[in-house]
């Protein structure tokens, strides 16, 4: 018997008699880690705990590292092993089922693994709990995951005897001379798989099957139609429960569903995918967003411009959009020998306004803002509600300034971002500074010196503001470094919004100039900035953040007047009219329904205030006020309510406190 020297990471080592399994070696090195481990890495290679160590190379100790719970690698092993458990349960319940593939999913927010199957009869969602129950039964029996290495011919024989043509196809394509197969001992399941897996089914405790979908073998519609069973798995039941809750919460907030239920917007296939219709209730929210933005732009001495939606093709060649961005642009259209293209960005148009006259250093900075609608040729498979569309409006601005002014301009942009997002209820803004980095495969414009100077100024601005930021190497635009920002929503999801970008490129390409104090022409610096990015997308984020229950200043209907009896209908109308004249958006519900039904309806529409009126309120000139989340908040005079509501709107309050 030979000896083998094993070492835990860079830590403890031991001399053991070989051969020895990884599990036994780990036990000698670290009892705790051995108990917890799901698999291990031996000299960097992932293996099962049952893997046998036979000797060491070059006299170096064999390095062992446990794959532990609460790591991404651990999750991969856990979910992948759970997919095997799922296949075992399906085979157990439905003998004759043919198996496809069953990978772990780590980046998918909805699922943690799947297995593709063709069962003897089509499965239905009613089968899922039954299959899940069988998975639990198998897990409890603490069956071993056992690996075997066999000749390719033998593997093909095993799987063809089991009538698994798809597995045979995979082995034919992928396997070398020796084939790694896995059993769950005591179950009917064998898989062609490289592993690693957990040592036994007892390690799988927190899993859930989630849904059933159609799938094609290898995604090919010509090949057999399969069914994909989706599930997820976590290390503990607590984690699984928390994840299920978050998933339900995300579904409850889905902007596509709420957009329909609250009649905010639609997308209509017969007009074209990815094109947004803002309905009256969504339209008024957009109007409020834009009005607010104009107010803020005015305070910050921006000017407002409007520009066309298409331009001559040559313009997009001068700007470089056609060369660098052509795939995202709609194809050219021709009129009287001139080709035009729809705009994917607003920048060249604002340059046109800058260039329309000679500028002096005294005219700078020029700050042009526009709600600029742009069009992008996104593929239909990538479209998603308001989040990814083909036509959207950017709250765009371009700042033209002298090199001395640019730092202050960018600093003001950062202030602007923080102030605006706070008004919409986003206190946490995360900044990312994207810089050139060392990779040279990108065609960066501008000299190293220019980049270094611009990057240090942007970093300086972020540090001055004391905001949280991350520096990202190699993610700068080809024309200059940029600051991107993200917000965290009510359920902790991060959303990428707008950007502040320093541009070395367009002022050169368009030969922009200003006359300096020295009476000579100079190149201005151009800054691109957008706060929301896309108004459509930001609206989608707002809908999900507030789950459709918007703050009063944004709510499409701010109050609904609900008479208890027809006798007070006239009073209800006069209350509504008085509030409208005070600038509030108010509806009445005069239908002959029970007051409870009217309140429920208003509640479903997420209307912030309900004014309930009976004989007494009419006699006293009062309103009984219900607030959307707090319920009854008491009776007050109409003047008092009006004052309260107007104050909440004026201050753009987030809650109706
Ligand atoms: Zn596997
Ligand atoms: Zn721009």
Identify which ligand lies nearest to the alpha carbon of 79.
1
At 374-422, the pLDDT tens digits run 999 998 878 899 999 999 999 999 999 999 999 999 999 999 999 999 9
Helix locations, 402-524, DSSP H = 406-423, 448-465, 506-509
How buried is 438 (Cβ within 10 angstroms: 0-12 exposed, 13-18 middle, 19+ buried)? Answer: exposed
The answer to whether residue 444 scores a pLDDT higher than 90 is no
pLDDT band of 428, cuts 50, 70, 90 = confident
Identify which ligand lies nearest to the alpha carbon of 505.
2
Q: How far is the CA of 68 from the centre of ligand 1 (A)?
A: 18
pLDDT value, residue 476: 84
The answer to whether residue 92 scores a pLDDT higher than 90 is yes
List the single range of 197-201, 292-296, 354-358, 452-456 with lowest mean pLDDT.
452-456
Q: How far is the CA of 286 from the centre of ligand 2 (A)?
A: 22
Least Cα distance to 516 among 402, 372, 435, 630 occurs for: 402
The answer to whether residue 360 scores a pLDDT higher than 70 is yes
Identify which ligand lies nearest to the alpha carbon of 368.
2
User: 514 with 479: CB under 8 angstroms?
Assistant: no
Q: How far is the CA of 180 from the centre of ligand 1 (A)?
A: 10
Q: How far is the CA of 461 from the centre of ligand 2 (A)?
A: 20
Nearest-angstrom CA–CA distance, 229 and 128? 8
Identity of the highest mean pLDDT range in 109-118, 162-171, 639-648: 639-648
DSSP letter for 221, please. Answer: T
Inter-axis angle of helices 165-174 and 152-161, to 10 degrees? 170
Identify which ligand lies nearest to the alpha carbon of 147.
1
Q: How far is the CA of 529 from the centre of ligand 2 (A)?
A: 7
pLDDT value, residue 5: 86
Q: Where are the beta strands (DSSP E) in 489-580?
A: 494-503, 514-515, 521-522, 525-534, 559-563
**Quick one: average pLDDT of 631-649?**
96
Q: How far is the CA of 528 from the centre of ligand 2 (A)?
A: 4
Q: How far is the CA of 542 from the centre of ligand 2 (A)?
A: 24
User: 72 with 104: CB under 8 angstroms?
Assistant: no
At 310-352, the pLDDT tens digits run 999 999 999 989 988 888 999 999 999 999 999 999 999 999 9
The upper half-sphere exposure of residue 69, i.e. CA atoms within 13 Å in the direction of its Cβ, equals 14
**Quick one: average pLDDT of 169-185?**
89
**Quick one: average pLDDT of 191-202?**
92
pLDDT value, residue 475: 83
pLDDT value, residue 442: 65
pLDDT band of 440, cuts 50, 70, 90 = low
Q: How far is the CA of 376 from the centre of ligand 1 (A)?
A: 41
At 221-237, the pLDDT tens digits run 888 889 999 999 999 99
* Placement of tokens 């390690």 in the chain: 203
The answer to whether residue 438 scores a pLDDT higher than 80 is no
Identify which ligand lies nearest to the alpha carbon of 196.
1
Identify which ligand lies nearest to the alpha carbon of 195.
1
Q: How far is the CA of 119 from the centre of ligand 1 (A)?
A: 20
Burial letters 1-31, b for 16+ CB under 10 A, else e:
eeebebbbeeeebbebebebbbbbbbbbbbe
The answer to whether residue 215 scores a pLDDT higher than 90 is no
Identify which ligand lies nearest to the alpha carbon of 307.
2
Nearest-angstrom CA–CA distance, 234 and 237? 7
Identify which ligand lies nearest to the alpha carbon of 501.
2
User: 488 with 334: CB under 8 angstroms?
Assistant: no
Entry pTM? 0.79
Identify which ligand lies nearest to the alpha carbon of 101.
1
The answer to whether residue 439 scores a pLDDT higher than 70 is no
Nearest-angstrom CA–CA distance, 564 and 34? 70
User: 318 with 509: CB under 8 angstroms?
Assistant: yes
Kindly report the average pLDDT of the chain as a whole number.
93
Q: How far is the CA of 194 from the centre of ligand 1 (A)?
A: 6
Nearest-angstrom CA–CA distance, 651 and 643? 12
Identify which ligand lies nearest to the alpha carbon of 167.
1
pLDDT band of 531, cuts 50, 70, 90 = very high
Q: In this structure, are strands 429-434 and 469-472 parallel, antiparallel, or unpaired?
A: parallel
């Amino acid at each position: 018997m030979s000896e083998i020297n094993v070492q835990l990471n860079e830590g403890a080592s031991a001399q053991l008699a070989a051969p020895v399994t990884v599990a036994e070696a780990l036990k000698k090195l670290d009892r705790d880690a051995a108990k917890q481990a799901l698999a291990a890495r031996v000299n960097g290679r992932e293996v099962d705990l049952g893997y046998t160590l036979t000797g060491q190379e070059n006299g170096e100790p064999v390095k062992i590292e446990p794959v532990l719970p609460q790591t991404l690698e651990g999750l991969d092993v856990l979910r992948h092993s759970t997919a095997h458990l799922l296949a075992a349960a399906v085979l157990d319940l439905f003998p004759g089922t043919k198996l496809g593939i069953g990978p772990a999913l780590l980046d998918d927010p909805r699922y943690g693994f799947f297995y593709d199957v063709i069962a003897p009869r089509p499965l239905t969602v009613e089968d899922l709990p039954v299959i899940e129950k069988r998975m639990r039964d198998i897990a409890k029996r603490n069956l071993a995951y056992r690996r075997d290495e066999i000749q390719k011919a033998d593997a093909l024989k095993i799987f063809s005897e089991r009538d698994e043509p798809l597995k045979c196809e995979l082995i034919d394509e992928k396997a070398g001379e020796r084939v790694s197969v896995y059993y769950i001992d005591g179950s009917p399941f064998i898989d062609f798989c490289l592993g690693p897996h957990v040592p036994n089914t007892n390690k799988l405790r927190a899993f859930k099957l989630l849904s059933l979908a159609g799938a094609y073998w290898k995604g090919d519609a010509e090949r057999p139609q399969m069914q994909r069973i989706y599930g997820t798995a976590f290390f503990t039941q607590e984690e699984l429960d928390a994840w299920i809750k978050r998933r339900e919460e995300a579904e409850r907030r889905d902007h596509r569903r709420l957009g329909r239920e609250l009649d905010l917007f639609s997308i209509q296939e017969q007009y074209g995918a990815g094109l947004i219709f803002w309905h009256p209730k969504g339209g008024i929210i957009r109007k409020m967003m834009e009005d607010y933005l104009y107010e803020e732009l005015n305070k910050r001495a921006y000017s407002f411009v409007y520009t066309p939606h298409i331009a001559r093709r040559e313009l997009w060649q001068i700007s470089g959009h056609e060369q660098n961005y052509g795939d995202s642009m709609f194809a050219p259209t021709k009129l009287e020998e001139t080709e035009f293209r729809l705009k994917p960005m607003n920048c060249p148009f604002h340059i046109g306004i800058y260039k329309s006259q000679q500028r002096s250093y005294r005219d700078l900075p020029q700050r042009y803002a526009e709600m600029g609608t742009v069009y992008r040729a996104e593929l239909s498979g990538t479209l998603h509600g308001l989040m990814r569309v083909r036509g959207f409006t950017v709250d765009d601005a371009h700042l033209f300034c002298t090199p001395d002014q640019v730092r202050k301009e960018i600093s003001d942009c950062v202030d602007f971002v923080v102030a605006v997002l706070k008004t919409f209820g986003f206190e946490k803004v995360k900044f990312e500074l994207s810089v050139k980095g060392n990779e040279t495969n990108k065609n960066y414009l501008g000299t190293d010196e220019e980049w270094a100077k611009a990057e240090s100024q942007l970093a300086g601005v972020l540090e001055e503001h004391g905001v949280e930021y991350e520096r990202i190497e190699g993610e700068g635009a080809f024309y200059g470094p940029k600051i991107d920002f993200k917000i965290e929503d009510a359920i902790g999801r991060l959303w990428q919004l707008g950007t502040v970008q320093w541009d070395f490129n367009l002022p050169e390409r368009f030969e922009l100039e200003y006359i300096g104090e020295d009476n000579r022409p100079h190149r201005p610096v151009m800054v691109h900035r957008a706060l929301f990015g896309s108004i459509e997308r930001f609206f989608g984020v707002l809908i999900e953040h507030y789950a459709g229950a918007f703050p009063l200043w944004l709510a499409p209907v701010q109050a609904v007047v609900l008479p208890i009896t027809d006798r007070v209908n006239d009073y209800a109308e006069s209350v509504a009219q008085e509030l409208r004249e005070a600038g509030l958006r108010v509806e009445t519900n005069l239908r002959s329904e029970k007051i409870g039904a009217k309140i429920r309806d208003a509640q479903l529409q997420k209307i912030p205030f309900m004014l309930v009126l009976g004989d007494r309120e009419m006699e006293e000139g009062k309103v009984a006020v219900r607030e959307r989340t707090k319920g009854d908040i008491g009776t007050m005079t109409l003047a008092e309510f009006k004052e309260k509501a107007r104050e909440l709107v004026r201050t753009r309050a987030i809650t109706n406190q």
